[in-house]
Amino acid sequence: MTPKEKMAIPPQAMPEQDAAVRARNMNEVALGYTAEMAKTEASRCLQCPTKPCMQGCPVAINIPGFLAKAAEGDFASALDVIKETSLLPAVCGRVCPQEKQCQKFCTMGKLLKDVDKAVAIGRVERFCADLARETGAEKPVACAPKTGKKVAIIGSGPASITCAADCAKAGHDVTVFEAFHRCGGVLVYGIPEFRLPKAIVRHEIEAIKQLGVKIENNFVIGRTRKLRDLIDKDGFDAVFVGTGAGLPKFMGIEGENLNGVFSANEYLTRANLMKAYLEGSADTPFWHGKRVAVLGGGNVAMDASRMALRLGAEKVYLVYRRSEAEMPARKEEVHHAKEEGVEFHMLENAKRVISDGKGAVAGLECLKYELGEPDASGRRSPVAVEGSEFVLDVDTVVVAVGNASNPLIPTTTEGLEINKRGNIVVDPETNMTSIPGVFAGGDIVLGAATVILAMGEGRKAAAGISAYLSK
Amino acid sequence: MNRIISKSRLSDNVYKMQLEAPLVAQERKAGQFVILMVDDELGERIPLTIADADAEKGTITVIFQTVGATTTKLSRLEPGDSIAALLGPLGRPTSIRGENGEKPGHVVCVGGGIGVAPMHPIAQALKAAGNKVTIIMGARNEGLFVMKDEMAAIAGENLILMTDDGSSGRKGLVTEPLKELCEAGAVDEVIAIGPPIMMKFCALATKPYGVKTTVSLNTIMIDGTGMCGGCRVSVGGKTKFVCVDGPEFDGHEVDWDQMLSRMGAFKPQEQAAKEHVCKAGIFK
Ligand SMILES: Cc1cc2nc3c(=O)[nH]c(=O)nc-3n(C[C@H](O)[C@H](O)[C@H](O)COP(=O)(O)OP(=O)(O)OC[C@H]3O[C@@H](n4cnc5c(N)ncnc54)[C@H](O)[C@@H]3O)c2cc1C
Ligand code: SF4
Ligand code: FES
């Protein structure tokens, strides 16, 4: 095919549940390509010799390589190519912000002058991974001979899963310690079922168990056992800290502790991990908000607003103090949220939560904002418009303005260096912390970031651990 | 794991259980708690204070009242059964006078209802650190006292029993002897654990005398590690997370009205869930 012919192939749309129906159920929104669609979409790839897409991928997947295989219909080989550098393609294909990574640089998108018309790399990636999982065609992974070294992994989010898998493949004896009763970190408690089915996360956890990784749930390092005890008393030769961000930020405004105000973490954890949406069978209750305001503009805010609809809200307002162009959320989620009926209130911000006099939310006073001069980060900073107060009639407020670093491990581990934001400081080459033999990666190092970055860090740390242990 | 070693019924709806939890038993200090789940598929996560522990045997003791779905289900388990999930020890340990740099003195411990259970290890530690310990125990009636003998063993003659109906000890509220003791001027510190309303009034009672009063809050919790903020309360005008910053706080600084209101946030749903469990129980 000539480039011209390729340009003429229509981008394959993702089949989706109807917006009105899906806004009231928990099932996955994006239904996935058929084999035919995946093949067609992959065949749009121009096989650019300079591979611009790869620069945008944080783990440098050989994108044209796997697309070439997929275009031939050889999805198993395509998956092999992906797995050379990525461990969780079924997850990343669903949750990566592709329009800011690989697809942003894609030549096809440039030629058609629309990033939405770039090759849908993530969707093809997802198809390859789903096909192998659903047909039981995943290839067994070989582990190197046992090294006799013990590695402890703290947390079980994407950074930890990746580090555990790589360490097990390198022949180390690996144990994961997870505070929650389920593994997966944000993938199970934060990102909702309708965006990332939990069966996929379970499958990935099973896969690391198959590699011989042991898992201790309900085990909080810093409390049940101190990090240093793992080394000094329990015989671990190296430790990886992948404890995530996990400390919800609040706005610090009046009325924020009223009943009906939740951090997005609490709101989503109740619904996802604790299954509160199964009312009548689950013991954990959820708040029956009819009119919900969600504060923030990231993926977490999108997930919380769409969850609110699914929990029966009649009105959901998304309040964000910048404009839509600045929203950090994945473009597809923004689009989905709008389709499902979330009302976007851009350039507005909460000033105070109004009480009903009985300890619960009766409304949210907001201020209008305008964009001022660009700040140090280059983003135009929002400035409040004086006297522009108005009240949103809501009974529920979900605060999704970000997560800081959970201090539990740093405060219980002497000598572990953190920066002023509370993130653990690591050597950028090896991900080793200020304590020899202790490594860290993912959100606890980067600040709240992304799944793919966490995965990349887990991988780098595993290499660092193996190098350290072979000394 | 997490096997139930023994179970006994202390009163109508109060149970005591000894659980196998070797690591928790080793690490725990007075004032800390665990979070447990009876069913890790659809169950909820609830905090329970550790009333006692035996590091050698690897067991901890919890005392609970059947107030909701989970405690009701828990009360139906028998020795040999396992608890689906148990996490701990959580929270900051109690700062024990005499161990924390302050000179030992006279400490009054006020325990209301089953608040006496979490008070037990604290009173023990206070005594061991050389303090004079007075214990005030309150209950609606005589049959509702828990761990009376254990507390008497610590306080000796300085044990004051209060009941609402006068069926045992003095008739009246725990705040009455508390005020009298403060009035007499020989109290260095007060620790109050019990229903929030009791802790609120204990704090109000000691405030005029400027006696340091520590309370232990038992808010709604989910993770217990500082991740969700569901357990937050205002203390001294600042938002604190009870699971990691607490559970103990200066009673004079706690915003009690907010705390009481947050405790009731899910009342209707919790009641419905409990009724569901109770009804299901009839057919068991
Ligand atoms: C609602 C939501 C939506 C998101 N959507 C996207 C998206 O669409 N795309 C994307 O790329 N990223 C998204 N993110 C961000 C992404 O999920 C995170 O960047 C990523 O999960 C970080 O991985 P991690 O392994 O560092 O930590 P986490 O996933 O946070 O996992 C940390 C784990 O460590 C455990 N832990 C913490 N402390 C201890 C301790 N002391 N002892 C034992 N265990 C402990 C925690 O319980 C948790 O399970 C989203 C985040 C949220 C909250
Ligand atoms: S940039 Fe786009 S067209 Fe070029 S190789 Fe990558 S995916 Fe294919
Ligand atoms: S219980 Fe979640 S932060 Fe305290």
CATH number of the domain that B193 lies in?
3.40.50.80
**Contact in structure between A154 and A242 (CB atoms under 8 Å):** yes
Q: Are residues A349 and A425 both part of a single domain? A: no
Ligand 2: does its nearest atom lie under 6 Å from the Cβ of A56? no
Return the pLDDT at A301. Answer: 97
Ligand 3: does its nearest atom lie under 6 Å from the Cβ of B241? yes
Size of interface A-B (CB pairs under 8 A): 116
* Residue A212 pLDDT greater than 50, yes or no: yes
- Tell me whether residue A141 is in a domain: no
Q: Are residues B140 and B51 both part of a single domain? A: no
* Residue B142 pLDDT greater than 70, yes or no: yes
Q: Are residues B85 and B154 both part of a single domain? A: no
Please identify among residues 181-220 of chain B the ones whose CB lies closer than 8 Å to any CB of chain A: none
pLDDT digits (tens, 9 = 90+) for B171-211: 999 999 999 999 988 899 999 999 999 999 999 999 999 99
More confident residue, A439 or B113: A439
The Cα of A281 is separated from the nearest Cα of chain B by a number of Å equal to: 7
pLDDT band at B279 (very low <50, low <70, confident <90, very high): low
Q: Which helix (H) or strand (E) holds A315?
A: strand A315-320
**Domain enclosing residue B49, as ranges:** 4-90
pLDDT digits (tens, 9 = 90+) for A52-62: 999 999 888 99
Ligand 2: does its nearest atom lie under 6 Å from the Cβ of A405? no
- With contacts defined as CB-CB under 8 Å, which chain B residues touch A268? none
- With contacts defined as CB-CB under 8 Å, which chain A residues touch B273? 283, 285
Distances (CA, A) of B160 to A194, B31, B117, B154, B170: 57, 22, 16, 12, 8
- Tell me whether residue A142 is in a domain: no
Q: Are residues A313 and A386 both part of a single domain? A: yes
Domain boundary among A100, A134, A168: A134
Q: Are residues B86 and B111 both part of a single domain? A: no
Q: Are residues A281 and A394 both part of a single domain? A: yes
Return the pLDDT at A139. Answer: 83
Q: Are residues B81 and B190 both part of a single domain? A: no
**Domain holding B17: CATH number?**
2.40.30.10
Residue with tokens 């006279």: B106
pLDDT digits (tens, 9 = 90+) for A116-130: 999 999 999 999 999
Q: d(Cα A177, Cα A467) in Å, to the nearest integer?
A: 22
Please identify among residues 324-363 of chain A the ones whose CB lies closer than 8 Å to any CB of chain B: 358-360
pLDDT digits (tens, 9 = 90+) for B224-277: 999 999 999 999 999 999 999 989 999 999 999 999 999 888 877 777 766 766
- With contacts defined as CB-CB under 8 Å, which chain A residues touch B265? 259-260, 287
pLDDT band at A439 (very low <50, low <70, confident <90, very high): very high
Judged by CB atoms closer than 8 Å, whether chains meet at B239 and A217 is answered as no
Tokens of B255: 């915003």
Q: Are residues A257 and A377 both part of a single domain? A: yes
- Tell me whether residue A365 is in a domain: yes
Q: What's the structural domain count of chain A?
A: 3
Q: Are residues B74 and B121 both part of a single domain? A: no
- With contacts defined as CB-CB under 8 Å, which chain A residues touch B270? 285
Q: Are residues A86 and A42 both part of a single domain? A: yes
Which residue minimizes the CA distance to atom 6 of ligand 2? A53
- Spatial neighbors of B18 by CB under 8 A, at least 6 apart, are B4, B5, B6, B7, B59, B60, B61
Q: Are residues A238 and A271 both part of a single domain? A: no
Please identify among residues 369-428 of chain A the ones whose CB lies closer than 8 Å to any CB of chain B: 406-408
For chain B, give the secondary structure using H, E and C.
CCEEEEEEEEECCEEEEEEECHHHHHHCCCCCEEEEECCCCCCCCEEEEEEEEECCCCEEEEEEECCCHHHHHHHCCCCCCECCEEEEEECCCCCCCCCCCCCCCEEEEEEEHHHHHHHHHHHHHHHHCCCEEEEEEEECCHHHCCCHHHHHHHHHHHEEEEECCCCCCEECCCHHHHHHHHHHCCCCEEEEECCHHHHHHHHHHHHHHCCEEEEECCCCCCCCCCCCCCCEEEECCEEEEHHHHCCEEECCCECHHHHHHHHCCCHHHHHHHHHHHHHHHHCC
- Tell me whether residue A377 is in a domain: yes
Domain boundary among A134, A164, A190: A134
Judged by CB atoms closer than 8 Å, whether chains meet at B222 and A223 is answered as no
Sign of torsion, CA A54 A56 A59 A61? negative
Q: d(Cα A118, Cα A11) in Å, to the nearest integer?
A: 8
- Tell me whether residue B133 is in a domain: yes
Ligand nearest to the CA of A48: 2
Under DSSP, is residue A440 helix (H, G, I), strand (E, B) or coil?
Answer: strand
Return the pLDDT at A275. Answer: 84
The pTM for the full model equals: 0.93
- Tell me whether residue B274 is in a domain: no
What dihedral angle (degrees, nearest 10) is formed by the CA atoms of A254, A259, A261, A264? 140
**Domain holding A173: CATH number?**
3.50.50.60
pLDDT digits (tens, 9 = 90+) for A167-200: 999 999 999 999 999 999 999 999 999 999 999 9
Q: Are residues A240 and A273 both part of a single domain? A: no
Return the pLDDT at A374. Answer: 83
Q: Are residues B124 and B227 both part of a single domain? A: yes
Judged by CB atoms closer than 8 Å, whether chains meet at B265 and A287 is answered as yes
pLDDT digits (tens, 9 = 90+) for A280-297: 788 888 888 999 999 999
Q: Does A234 touch chain B (CB under 8 A)?
A: no
More confident residue, B135 or A141: B135
Q: Are residues B10 and B148 both part of a single domain? A: no
Q: Are residues A262 and A392 both part of a single domain? A: yes
Q: Which residue of A has its CA nearest to B264?
A: A259
Return the pLDDT at A144. Answer: 94
* Residue B169 pLDDT greater than 60, yes or no: yes
- Tell me whether residue B100 is in a domain: no
Contacts 24+ apart (CB under 8 A), B160-165: B160/B134, B160/B135, B160/B136, B161/B137, B162/B136, B162/B137, B162/B138, B163/B138, B163/B139, B164/B139, B164/B140, B165/B140, B165/B141
* Residue B278 pLDDT greater than 70, yes or no: no
Q: Are residues B259 and B153 both part of a single domain? A: yes
pLDDT band at A234 (very low <50, low <70, confident <90, very high): very high
- Spatial neighbors of A147 by CB under 8 A, at least 6 apart, are A170, A171, A172, A469, A470
Q: Are residues B114 and B253 both part of a single domain? A: yes
Distances (CA, A) of B257 to A461, B23, B93, B262: 48, 37, 25, 9
pLDDT digits (tens, 9 = 90+) for A441-471: 999 999 989 999 999 999 999 999 999 999 8
Judged by CB atoms closer than 8 Å, whether chains meet at A225 and B23 is answered as yes
Under DSSP, is residue A340 helix (H, G, I), strand (E, B) or coil?
Answer: helix
- Tell me whether residue A191 is in a domain: yes
Mean pLDDT rounded to a whole number for chain A: 94
Q: Which atom of ligand 3 is nearest to the CA of B242?
A: 4
Q: Are residues B86 and B197 both part of a single domain? A: no
Return the pLDDT at B282. Answer: 40
Q: Label the pairing between strands B106-112 and B132-139.
A: parallel
* Residue B284 pLDDT greater than 50, yes or no: no
Q: Are residues A234 and A183 both part of a single domain? A: yes
Q: Are residues B55 and B113 both part of a single domain? A: no
- Tell me whether residue A415 is in a domain: yes
* Residue B133 pLDDT greater than 70, yes or no: yes
Which residue minimizes the CA distance to atom 2 of ligand 2? A106
Q: d(Cα A51, Cα A64) in Å, to the nearest integer?
A: 7
- With contacts defined as CB-CB under 8 Å, which chain A residues touch B37? 181
Return the pLDDT at B283. Answer: 35
- Tell me whether residue B271 is in a domain: no
Return the pLDDT at A285. Answer: 82
CA A48 to centroid of ligand 1, rounded, Å: 35
* Residue A278 pLDDT greater than 90, yes or no: no
Share of chain A above pLDDT 90, in %: 87
* Residue B281 pLDDT greater than 60, yes or no: no
Q: What is the mean pLDDT of residues A345-363?
A: 95
* Residue B280 pLDDT greater than 60, yes or no: no
Q: Which atom of ligand 3 is nearest to the CA of A265?
A: 2
What is the separation of C-alpha B78 from the centre of its chain, rounded to a whole number of angstroms? 23
Domain boundary among A353, A373, A401: A401
pLDDT digits (tens, 9 = 90+) for B85-112: 999 899 999 999 998 888 999 999 999 9
Residue with tokens 């640089």: A105
CA B244 to centroid of ligand 3, rounded, Å: 8
Mean pLDDT rounded to a whole number for chain B: 90
Q: d(Cα B58, Cα B207) in Å, to the nearest integer?
A: 41
Q: Are residues A347 and A255 both part of a single domain? A: yes
**Domain enclosing residue A159, as ranges:** 150-246+404-469
CB atoms within 10 A of CB B56: 9
Q: Are residues A229 and A351 both part of a single domain? A: no
Q: What's the structural domain count of chain B?
A: 2
CB atoms within 10 A of CB A139: 10
Residue to test with chain A: of B73, B90, B227, most A Cβ within 10 A? B227
Q: Are residues B80 and B185 both part of a single domain? A: no
Choose the weakest-confidence range: A46-55, B145-154, B227-236: B145-154
Distances (CA, A) of A468 to A252, A430, A437: 44, 9, 7
Q: Are residues A35 and A154 both part of a single domain? A: no
- Tell me whether residue A189 is in a domain: yes
Domain boundary among B57, B90, B123: B90
Ligand 1: does its nearest atom lie under 6 Å from the Cβ of A424? no
- Tell me whether residue A143 is in a domain: no
Contacts 24+ apart (CB under 8 A), A65-71: A66/A124, A66/A125, A66/A128, A67/A42, A67/A119, A67/A121, A67/A124, A68/A42, A70/A38, A70/A39, A70/A42, A70/A124, A70/A127, A70/A128, A71/A39, A71/A42, A71/A43, A71/A45
- With contacts defined as CB-CB under 8 Å, which chain A residues touch B40? 181-182
**Contact in structure between A86 and A128 (CB atoms under 8 Å):** no
